[in-house]
Structure 1
Amino acid sequence: MLSKSSMIASKKSFKPGLFDLGLNIQKKLSSHYLNIDRKQFTHYAEIEPNYIKPAIRNMLALQFFHIDIGRKRARLMLEELISQHPDELNALADLIYVYKEMGREKDANKYKIQLDSHKNNPLCQARSILGQANALTYDWADDHNKNPKFLLKDSWRLFNLEDNHTEQLIKANNLVVEAYKVLNAIPETAHEKKIKAKEKAIEKFEKGIGKLQELNCSKEEISTWKHNLAIARSRLDTWRNREGGNIGTRSDNCIKALEDHSYVIDSLTSIEKLEKPLKIYLAKSCIFFVQLYTSRKHNISNNHMSECVTKKVQNLESLESKAIRLCPDDNIVLQRYGRIKSNRQQYLEAIDIYNKSIEMFPDKDISWFSYSSRRAAYYFHSKNLIDEKSDEAEINKYLTLAYMDGEVCLQSKCTQYCMFQMAQICFERAMPIRNSAMSFGCKNIDFIYEALEILHETLNKRDINKDARIYAELGKYYLFISEYRKSIESIKTSLELNKWNKHYSNCFSHLCNSFMCFYDESKDRNLLSEFRYMLKEAKQRECDKWVTDALKTMKTDFPEMLSNLIENMIEWDARGCEDIVNEILQSGFSGCDDMRERFKMKLQEGNNQESDINGPAEIQASENPESFEYDFFVLHSEKDKEWVNFMLRPQLEEYDNVINFRGCFPSRDFIPGERILDSMLNGINNSRKLLIIFTPNNDNNKWMELFKDVCINSMLKSKSKEKTVIPIILKNCEIPQILQSRVPIDFTQKSDWDRLRMALTVNMDSMLQLEQKMSALSCI
C-alpha cells in the first residue's frame, strides 16, 4: 500500500479531469479532424480492455464539448460513463466542469460530493493520472481559429483606404491589438506544445504505473499502460526528431520505449489464456518493438540496451511472425507491419499490406493511417524509380496513385505532414527536368502551382507557420517557376528558422541558384551585396563546404557574376570577406592576378570606404505630423548594416502582396552628395516610427550615442500620436535608461517578425501602451 506521506503528497499534487490539461481542440476550421478522432476513438473503445475504455470515452466527451451543439452529447456521455464507473475521477471532474459552464451549479455540487468521496482512493487516483497521460499522448489540433496574419492584413487594408474616417482607424487599430493578443496567446509553436505534452504524458504514465505497482495490481493492467507509455515515448521521439532534437536524448528515449514494449511482451506471453483485447496488446507490442528498432537503429547504441531487449533485437523476425499469428486481421498490426516493410524500403510489399488493411476497414476516417502510409510508400517507390531512370509511364503510375491517396488524406485527417508530402508529390508530378546549367523546366507547371498553393495553405495554419521545411520547399518551387526573389526570401526564412542546420545544405544550394539565376536575368548589382551577406553568414556559421560548392558552381556556370562578386567584396567589405576572396583567388581564373593586387592594397588601407552613418545634433518636428513619407526609419550601427538591408528590409517591404511597409534605409534612400546629417533629419522627420537596432556594436560609438539621445527625446516628445520609438534587441546589450520603460522586440531568441509588423501598424504612442491595453482586454 502507499505510505502515509506519499498519500499526503498525492493529495496536494493530484488534480482530476481532462479539461484543465491544456488540450486544445480546433472547431469550425477543421471539423473533419474531430470526426476522424471520434470514429477512431469509438473503434478503439470497442476493442480496449475495461480499464482503458474510460480514458477513451472521456476523450470523446471532451471533443464533443468543444464542437457546436455538442455539450449535451458530452454531458450524456459522461453521465453514462459515471453510471458504469462511479469512481471514475476524470469523468466526475469533467462533468462538474460541464455543469458549471451550463450554469447548473446544483448538479455540479451533487457530483462534487461524489468526487470528494472517491478522490482519495489510491487506485482511482492512479487510473485517473493514467487517463490524463493517455489524453496527452494524442496530437490535438490548435484551438485558435483566428490567424494573426489575416487580422493584420484586414487592419492594413483599413489603414490604407483613401478616405480614412476615425471609425475606420479605430477599427483597424483594434484589429491589430486583437492580432497581437492572439500572437501572445500562442507563445510557442505547435511542435513545442506537442513535445511538452508528450513529456508531461510520460511523466504521468510513470507516476500512474508506479502507483499501480505499489498497489500490486494485475500484470494485465500494468502491461496495457506500459504499452501506452512506450507509444508516448515514440511520439515524443518523433516530434523531437522533426525539431532536430538532440540525438543522444532521442537514443535514450527510444531504448526506454523498447524496454517498455519488452516488458509487455514478456508479461503477457507468460499468461496462458489471454482475452482478445490483451492478445491485441501483445501483438501490438511485438510489432511496435520491431518497427521502433527498425526505424531508429541508426540512432541508438546497442551497448546501452538491457539483455532482454538485446535478445529480442536478435530475433526480430520471430516477433513479426508472432504479431501476425496472434492478430492477422487487426488494422493497427497490419498498419505497423506495413511501416516495417517501408522502413526496409520494401515498398511494394508494404503497399500490399496497406491494401489488405484498407479492404478490411474501407472507412477512410478509421483507416486514415493506412491511406497515409500507402501514399508515402507509393511516393518513395516512385522516387526510387526516378533515381533508377525507369520507364516514365511506370513512374507516373505510382505518382498518380500517391496523389490519389494524398487527396483522401487531405479530405480526412489533414496533418502537416500530409500537406507537406502532397506538395512534394505535386512537384514530382510536374516532372522537373534540368535542361542545361541552372536552367529549369517542367512538363506540367500546373502541378508546381498546386504544390505552392498547398504549402501556402499550411502557412495559413497558425500551428505550423514556423516550419523551416515548408519555407525550404517554397523556395525550391519558386526557383523552378523563375520567381527568384520569392525563392530567395523563402529560403532565407528557412535558414533562419532552422538556425542554419548542417543538414540543410540543399536549402543553401537552392538559395545560391536563385541568386545566380536572378542576377543572370536582371544584372542587378544590388544582388551582389545581398549574396555577399549570405555567403558571409554561412562562413560565420562554419558552413564552409556550402560556400565552396556555391563558388564552384558560379565559377563554372556564371563566371561573369563571380568576377563582379569579387569586385563587390573587395570594394565594400574586403576585411569581412577576406577568407572568401582568398578562396576564390586561389582557385584561379581570368583577371585573377590584377584582383589579387587590388585586394592586398584594400586590406592595407585598413577600414572600409563606407563610413558610419550616424548622427546629428537636432531633429525638428514635422509640420504635418500625421503625414509621413515613410513607415519607419532604422537607426543602426554600420556593423549591423547588412542584417538591416538583407534580413529586416525584405521582411518588412516584401512580406506579401498586401502588407508592404515603406522604410527609409540610409544605404538606399539617401541622395548621394547631400550632407549625411541633413539626410538623417529628413528621414526621421518623414517617418512614422523609429526602429533602433541594439547590439554591442553600438557601444563606444559617440555619434551613435549622441544621435540616439537626440532622436529618442524628439520622438518621445512628438505631438504626433503615431510617432513611436521601437527598440529591437538583435544581440544582448545594455538598453538606454530612457527606453527601458518601452517594451522591446527581442530577436535574441527568435526572429519575431509578426510582432514587429504589428508594432509598425498599430497607432499607439508606445509598445507599452499596447501591452497595457492587451492586459485590460484579457480581463474582460
Structure 2
Amino acid sequence: MMASKESFKPGLFDLGLNIQKKLSNNDLNIDRKQFTYHSENDPSYIKPAIRNMLAVQSFYIDTGRTRARLMLEELISEHPNELNALADLIYVYKEMGREKDADRYKSQLDSHKNNPLCQARSILGQANALTYDWADDHNKNPKFLLKDSWRLFNLEDNHTEQLIKANNLVVEAYKVLNAIPETAHEKKIKAKEKAIEKFEKGIGKLQELNCSKEEISTWKHNLAIARSRLDTWRNREGDNIDTRSDNCIKALEDHSYVIDSLTSIEKLEKPLQIYLAKSCIFFVQLYTSRKDNISNNHMSESVKKKVQDLESLESKAIRLCPDDNIVLQRYGRIKSNRQQYLEAIEIYNKSIEMFPDKYFNWFSYASRRAAYYFHSKKLIDEKSDEAEINKYLTLAYMDGEVCLQSKCTQYCMFQMAQICFERAMPIRNSAMSFGCKNINFIYEALEILHETLNKRDIKKDAKIYAELGKYYPFISEYRKSIESIKTALELNKWNENYSECFSHLCNSFMCFYDESKDRNLLSEFRYMLKEAKQRECDKWVTDALKTMKTDFPEMLSNLIENMIEWDARGCEDIVKEVLQPEFSVRDDMRERFEMKLQEGSNQESDINGPAEIQASETSESFKYDFFVLHSEKDKEWVNFMLRPQLEEYDDVINFRGCFPSRDFILGDRIIDSMEKGIKNSCKLLIILTPNNNCDKEMQFYKNVCIHSMIESKAKEKTVIPIVLKNCEIPQILQTHVPIDFTQKNDWDRLRMALTVNMDSTLELEQKMSALSCKGPDEDEN
C-alpha cells in the first residue's frame, strides 16, 4: 500500500472519526468499558493510545469536557512527549475558550513534534483509533420526514402554514439525505483502509529506529486486527475474492510475525503473553473462517507451517490465557466455524460467567446467539424434535434481546428477524405453502427488518430486502413481497447466489395472481422472467416454469398466451421451452407462436386498461402527480420498476402517475393525449437512455411536452430528467437538474422531488438541491 502524501498531523480530533457525531449511550458505554479494560491490561506501548481515545470519547459526553481535560493532563504528565494527547488537549482548551492554556501546550507540542519516535507512536495511536467500529447515531430519517410532509400535503383543508411546514419537511429530508453521502458501512471500510496505511507507516518508522521486538510485535498484532476487520466489512460489501484473499494472507503474515517474535523471548510479561495468545487464536480463527477464499500458493513458508498444525496454536493460546475473554471469544468462533455449535456454546457460557456485563461482553452474547440459532437450523434440517428446536430458538431469542439492548448492529437485527421467523414455525410442506404456527413472530420479524432499513447509518443490504420478500407472503402481502425482492435483485445485481430469492419472487407472483386473478400481473411477471433470461439465469426461469406447471397450470397457460400476444420475439426462448412436450401445452399455441414470429412482435399497448384523462384546467389540484415520457424500448422498466416504486411504495406515500401505456385512451391522437396528461400532471418525468437519441418520434414528443409544461398556467411545474443509462443529455434538458439512475435507482430522491409542492408561491432555497448528479470525478461508492 502506498504511503500517504499528506503531512503528519498529531491528534485524534482531526481524523474524521465518526464519533464527531455523538454516539448513543449504549455505544459509549460499551467502548468506555472496553477501553478501560485495555488501558489496565495492555502493554505499556498501547496504553497511551487507549487513554487518548477514552479522553476523546469523554469529550462528546454531556458535561464530559472537564473529564477529558483532566484525563489528557494526567496522560501528558506521565508522557510529556505524547503528541496525540498534546494536540487533543490543545483542541479541548480552544473549545473551552482558554486560548492561553492552548498556547502553552502548543509550545510543548512544537518542541517534540519533530522527534521521529514520537511521530511513529503518534501515527500508530491514530491507526489504533481508526481500527475501532465507531457508529453514527442519526436521529432523523429522511423517509420519516417525507411521510410527515406527505400527510400535511394531503389534508383536506390545506392552508398556507401547512404547505410551508410540509415543504420545509421535504427540504429538511433533502438536507439529511445530502449531509451524509455515505453510510457508516462505507465509512468503516475507509477507516480500516486508513488504519492499515498508518500502521504500516508507523511500524516502518519503528523498524528504522531499531525499536524493541516487543513494541513492534504489539503494533503488528493490531495491524493484523485492522486487516481482519477490513476483510469483515469488505465481505459484507461483496468485495472481489482475490482482493480479500491478499488481505487475509497479509493478516496471517502479521500474526505469524508476532507469534515467532514473542515466542523467542524467554520471559514475557503478562500483557505480552496475552498478545501472544491472542495472535495464536486469531491466526487459527482467521484461517478457519477464510480458508476457502485464501490461496495457499501465496503464503510464506512460516504461515504454511502454522496452517499445518492449527491445533498446537489453539492449545498454546488456551494454555497461556485460559481465562482471557478475547481468547475465549475467538476460540468459540473457531468451534462455530467448524459447526461444533454445542462446544462453542460451552465456551461462550464460560466467557459470560466470567464477564456477565452485557455491554462489556456483548461479543460473547452475540456469538452465543448465533451458535444457538445455527444449531437450531441444523436440528430443523435433521427434522429433530420440535420441542428441542424451540428450546434453542428461545435461547437465541433471549441473547438477541440482550444484543439489541447493548450494541445493536445491522447483523444483530438481521439475525434477530431470522430467529423470529423460525420461532413462527413456518410450514414447509410445500413450496407454495405460507402457513405458520405463530403469526406474531412474523410481524415482529418484519418490524425489526423495517427498523434496520430506517437506521440512517446502515447500508441498504440486498439480504434485508430478500428476507422481507420471504416473510411478507405469510401475512398475504404478496405485492410488498414482489417489490422487496425486486429491490434485492437490483441491489445484488442478480448475483447467482440469489436463486432462492428469485424463487420467492416467482412464488409471490403466482400466489398474488391466484388470489386476485389480475391478468395485468402476467405482463409484470413476463418482464421479470425476461430480465432473468437476459442475465443468463436460465435455470431460475426453468425452475419457475416447472413450479407453475405443477401448482398453477392455468397461470402458466395464461402467461404463455400473454408472451405470444405481446412480446413473442422478446420471449422466444421462454416460449420455446414451454412448448416442449413435458409442459403439455395446447397445439393452437404453437401455431399462434409461429404466426407471431413471422409477423414480428406486437407492442403491448395496455397494461392495466385505459383510464380516461379528464381536463381540469380550472381545478386547483392536479389529477396526476407526474407524467412519464419515455422511449418505447424503455416501456417495460417504466411499467414494472418505476410505476410500482411510486404508486405502490407503502401505505402512506402513494403517487398517482399518468403512464401512456395505461392511461391514454385508445384511438385518441397521441399528441392530444400528451397535452391533456401534462395539463393534469404536477410534474414531468423524462426517462433518458441511448434509445432516446435513436428515436426521432421520442425527440419530437419530448420537445412538445417540455414546451407544454413551460407554457402551462402553473409556471412552477417541474421537469425531472431521470438518466437511466449513460447517454447524451438533450440541449433542451441541460438547464434541468437530473437524477442519476445509472449506478443505482435512487427512489428516495425521486419521491422527495415529487413530494415537494412546486406550485406554491413559497421561496424555498435548496428545494431541488438533492437532485444534482455526481460529477464524473466523484466516487459513487
Alpha-carbon distance in structure 2 between the residues aligned to 1:538 and 1:26: 44
Alpha-carbon distance in structure 2 between the residues aligned to 1:612 and 1:50: 75
Show CA shifts across 1:481-539 (max 9, x none): 22111111111111111111111111111111100111111111111111111111111
Query: Which residue does 1:112 correspond to in 2?
Result: 106
Q: 1:67 to 1:721 in 2, by over 3 A?
A: farther
Residue 27 of structure 1: how far off its partner (Å): 6.6
Residue 343 of structure 1: how far off its partner (Å): 0.6
The answer to whether the 8 A contact 1:637-1:697 is kept is: yes
SS at match of 2:685: strand
Query: Which residue does 1:242 correspond to in 2?
Result: 236
Q: 1:401 to 1:593 in 2, by over 3 A?
A: same
Root-mean-square deviation over aligned CA pairs: 2.3
Residue 611 of structure 1: how far off its partner (Å): 6.4
The answer to whether the 8 A contact 2:682-2:718 is kept is: yes
SS at match of 2:682: strand
Alpha-carbon distance in structure 2 between the residues aligned to 1:93 and 1:548: 64
1:415 to 373, 394, 409: 409
Query: Which residue does 2:422 correspond to in 1?
Result: 428
1:204 to 175, 186, 198: 198
The answer to whether the 8 A contact 2:174-2:770 is kept is: no
Show CA shifts across 1:42-62 (max 9, x none): 112111111211211222222
Tell me the TM-score normalized by structure 2.
Answer: 0.94
SS at match of 2:19: coil
Amino acid at match of 2:627: F
Alpha-carbon distance in structure 2 between the residues aligned to 1:763 and 1:485: 29
Query: Which residue does 1:586 correspond to in 2?
Result: 580
1:192 to 155, 168, 186: 186
The answer to whether the 8 A contact 1:519-1:527 is kept is: yes
Query: Which residue does 1:712 correspond to in 2?
Result: 706
Query: Which residue does 1:452 correspond to in 2?
Result: 446
Q: How does 1:565-604 map to 2 (within 5 A)?
A: 565-604=559-598
The answer to whether the 8 A contact 2:427-2:433 is kept is: no
- Larger mean CA deviation between 422-431 and 14-23 belongs to 14-23
1:39 to 28, 33, 39: 33
- Larger mean CA deviation between 120-129 and 419-428 belongs to 120-129
Alpha-carbon distance in structure 2 between the residues aligned to 1:296 and 1:587: 46
SS at match of 1:265: helix
Alpha-carbon distance in structure 1 between the residues aligned to 2:355 and 2:555: 59
SS at match of 1:433: coil
- Larger mean CA deviation between 451-460 and 137-146 belongs to 137-146
SS at match of 2:497: coil
Percent sequence identity over matched residues? 89
2:655 to 661, 666, 690: 661
Residue 442 of structure 1: how far off its partner (Å): 0.9
Structure 1: any 5+ residue segments left out of the alignment? 1-5, 614-618, 776-780
Query: Which residue does 1:260 correspond to in 2?
Result: 254
Amino acid at match of 1:462: R
Q: Does 1:306 align with 2:292?
A: no
SS at match of 1:462: coil
The answer to whether the 8 A contact 2:137-2:457 is kept is: no
SS at match of 1:693: strand
Alpha-carbon distance in structure 2 between the residues aligned to 1:355 and 1:527: 52
Q: Does 1:55 align with 2:46?
A: no
Amino acid at match of 1:155: S
Alpha-carbon distance in structure 1 between the residues aligned to 2:430 and 2:284: 45
Residue 240 of structure 1: how far off its partner (Å): 1.0
Query: Which residue does 2:696 correspond to in 1?
Result: 702
Residue 146 of structure 1: how far off its partner (Å): 1.4
Q: Does 1:161 align with 2:165?
A: no
Query: Which residue does 1:748 correspond to in 2?
Result: 742
Alpha-carbon distance in structure 1 between the residues aligned to 2:350 and 2:344: 10
Amino acid at match of 1:483: E
Q: 1:585 to 1:406 in 2, by over 3 A?
A: same
Show CA shifts across 1:277-300 (max 9, x none): 100000000000000111111111
Residue 716 of structure 1: how far off its partner (Å): 3.4
Amino acid at match of 1:680: M
Alpha-carbon distance in structure 2 between the residues aligned to 1:361 and 1:499: 43
Query: Which residue does 2:363 correspond to in 1?
Result: 369
Q: 1:606 to 1:389 in 2, by over 3 A?
A: same
Q: Does 1:82 align with 2:76?
A: yes
Alpha-carbon distance in structure 2 between the residues aligned to 1:773 and 1:591: 52
Alpha-carbon distance in structure 2 between the residues aligned to 1:265 and 1:29: 36
Q: 1:620 to 1:44 in 2, by over 3 A?
A: same
Show CA shifts across 1:678-720 (max 9, x none): 2211111111110000001112322211111122133235452
Query: Which residue does 1:350 correspond to in 2?
Result: 344
Alpha-carbon distance in structure 2 between the residues aligned to 1:596 and 1:520: 25
Query: Which residue does 1:734 correspond to in 2?
Result: 728
Amino acid at match of 1:756: L
SS at match of 1:728: strand
Q: How does 1:618-697 map to 2 (within 5 A)?
A: 623-624=617-618, 626-697=620-691
Alpha-carbon distance in structure 2 between the residues aligned to 1:322 and 1:26: 41
The answer to whether the 8 A contact 1:741-1:768 is kept is: no
2:330 to 324, 332, 336: 336
Q: 1:240 to 1:758 in 2, by over 3 A?
A: same
Q: Does 1:563 align with 2:542?
A: no
Tell me the TM-score normalized by structure 1.
Answer: 0.94
SS at match of 2:526: helix
Q: How does 1:211-222 map to 2 (within 5 A)?
A: 211-222=205-216
Residue 624 of structure 1: how far off its partner (Å): 4.3
Residue 68 of structure 1: how far off its partner (Å): 2.7
Show CA shifts across 1:248-297 (max 9, x none): 11111111000000000000001111111100000000000000111111
SS at match of 1:627: coil
Structure with the bigger RCO (C-alpha within 8 Å, sep 6+) is 2
Q: 1:229 to 1:465 in 2, by over 3 A?
A: closer
The answer to whether the 8 A contact 2:414-2:449 is kept is: yes
Amino acid at match of 1:228: N
The answer to whether the 8 A contact 1:612-1:637 is kept is: no
The answer to whether the 8 A contact 2:4-2:197 is kept is: no
Amino acid at match of 1:710: V
The answer to whether the 8 A contact 1:36-1:365 is kept is: yes
SS at match of 1:362: coil
Alpha-carbon distance in structure 2 between the residues aligned to 1:41 and 1:545: 52
- Larger mean CA deviation between 10-19 and 386-395 belongs to 10-19
Query: Which residue does 1:527 correspond to in 2?
Result: 521
Alpha-carbon distance in structure 2 between the residues aligned to 1:16 and 1:103: 21
Residue 667 of structure 1: how far off its partner (Å): 2.0
Alpha-carbon distance in structure 1 between the residues aligned to 2:572 and 2:55: 65
2:278 to 263, 284, 288: 284
Query: Which residue does 1:466 correspond to in 2?
Result: 460
Q: 1:145 to 1:25 in 2, by over 3 A?
A: farther
- Larger mean CA deviation between 191-200 and 622-631 belongs to 622-631
Q: How many residues align?
A: 763
Alpha-carbon distance in structure 1 between the residues aligned to 2:28 and 2:346: 29
Alpha-carbon distance in structure 1 between the residues aligned to 2:764 and 2:685: 12
